Amino acid sequence: MKITRSIFLILTMLISCSGKGSNLSPDCNIDAGPCIKSNMKKEISFGIEPRPVRAMESLHFRVKLANYKNTQSVIVDLSMPEMSMGYNQVPLNKTGINTFEGRGIIPFCPSGKGLWKASVIINDKVEERFLINVHY
Amino acid sequence: MFTIKSVYILMFTAGLFGGFGHCLGMCGPIVASYSVALKSKTLTPHVLYNLGRISTYVLLGGMVGMTGSFIGIAGHIQGLQRFIMILSGIMIILMGLGLVGLVPKISFMKNRGLLLFSFIKRINHLSSENLTIGSFYPIGIFLGFIPCGLVYTALIAAARSGMEAENHFLGFFEGIVMMLLFGLGTMPASLLFGKVMSIIGEKMRVRLYRLSSLIMIVMGLIFVIRVM
């Protein structure tokens, strides 16, 4: 029983300080320019300015859509793929034909891991996910 | 995007789920370090520590809500946060050393009037089970400033709500309510973890001290290295 408790304690404390391991890596280089993903005939271009993309700065998000019809709302949901980071959603405004823009902030994570997931939500449905690297 | 009420629910649930998945990663070592040596069997010290932490969140929430700017406030407190994180790391290391009685061995500094000795003595006092219950609230306030991505996200939401508020006062109030709900959401995880650590610490005091001392020293080093 005591051994079980010891193992539980060690595991709990080690998990507390280590975070989860993972082989995930960015699927596009957001620092080089907008990332583009297509599915069937639909296409989403996702870009962030200024570059390189840094945490704790006011960032300009731009989404361009191709072959999407009746787009009512576009939101960028920012999260970390390995850790719960709460709700950080950037609502985008229509600024041109099939172009949506808005401002948001990516917070700094003291774990040092800079891998973030930006999910593009169109009409309340997640259409595409971009794994990007953010500089701290 | 969200109605007022849905934002409140989101803030609470973000704290609740983030508390188990995220906060234990950052605050777990701190909670563990004070809980293991805790003599009190009640939840009071844990509640006071958490109320202190939430007080800091509420203060920051009011500030970002009133100004409607997260960057403005975060930029000002970033230096303070780094300092607190380094200090927390050093505290955890010293408490780890204190657990196995290593800190008194450096008491040759005692009569030299060194500030460092006074600091170490106080930390040793913490790890010597002499901490009064009243100390936990200010400790919580102090450690509430530790940089945390989940708290930043909550503050960004509070700033956004403040920006959309009709005036600064309503923005201030909005920020306070949002961060209060977020903080309350994080409490169950922290309380549960603290209580479990206290119970385990009480049952296995001697054996555990050596083990947890080593882990705490490593954790403290990680805290300091993360900021560097």
Q: State the count of interchain CB pairs (< 8 A) between A and B.
A: 110
What DSSP line would sit under A69-107, residue for residue? -S---EEEEEEETTEEEEEEEEEEEEEETTEEEEEEEPP
Region of A60 please: left (phi>0), alpha (psi -120 to 50) or beta. Answer: beta
The H or E element that residue A17 is part of is helix A2-18
Q: Is the pLDDT of residue A9 over 50?
A: no
- A105: nearest Cα among A52, A37, A56, A50: A56
Q: Is the pLDDT of residue B204 over 80?
A: no
What pLDDT is stored for residue A61 in this prediction?
97
Candidates A9, A17, A80; nearest CB to B200: A9
- Maximum distance among all Cα pairs of chain B, rounded to whole angstroms: 63
In this complex, do A84 and B157 lie within 8 Å of one another by their Cβ atoms? Answer: no
Task: State pLDDT tens for residues A11-56.
Answer: 444 444 344 446 788 999 999 999 999 988 899 999 999 999 999 8
B chain contacts of residue A105, beta-carbon cutoff 8 Å: 70-71, 156
Average pLDDT over residues B38-60: 88
A127 or B209, which is more confident: A127
| Structural domains of chain A, ranges and CATH numbers in brackets | 26-133 (2.60.40.1930)
In this complex, do A85 and B22 lie within 8 Å of one another by their Cβ atoms? Answer: yes
ipTM above 0.95, yes or no: no
Whether B75 and B181 have beta carbons less than 8 Å apart is answered as no
